[in-house]
Amino acid sequence: MPTSTRKPSGKLDRCKASHPDTEARYHYPRSMLDQPFFVSPVTEQAEVHLSMLADTTHYVSPLMALLDQLRNEGNDIAGAYEEAAAMRAVIGQASKALAQIQDIALRANHLAE
C-alpha cells in the first residue's frame, strides 16, 4: 500500500470551484435540525443528542446533505465524507450499546426487587 510523502499542513486546503462561472450556494440553517420526533415541547427546537444522531430512520442529517451537495457538484470530499460516515456509524453503535446497558440495568433492578 503506497503512502503519501506529503505532510499535513495543519490547515485545510482551499479548493477552487469546478465551475468558476457559477457561484455555489449553501443554505443549511439551524432550523433544519427541527425535525419531527426530535423537537422539544418546551423549547420548540430540536435538542441534538445521541439518540437523535443515531436515528438514521427518522433523522435527516444536514451535515450529510451538505456533503452530498458538495460531492454532487464535483468536489472531492471523500475524506470528509468517510469521516462523517464513520462518526455516524460509531454513534449508532454507541447508542445500541447504551440501550443494551440500560436494558441490563433495568432487568437487574427488577430482579433485586
The pTM for the full model equals 0.68
Indicate the residue type of 45.
Answer: Q
Q: Are 62 and 32 in contact (CB under 8 A)?
A: yes
Nearest Cα to 35, choosing from 43, 45, 27, 26? 45
pLDDT, tens only, 21-63 = 567 789 999 999 999 888 988 988 888 889 899 998 899 999 9
* Phi then psi dihedrals of residue 105, to 5 deg: -65, -40
pLDDT band for position 20 (cuts 50, 70, 90): low
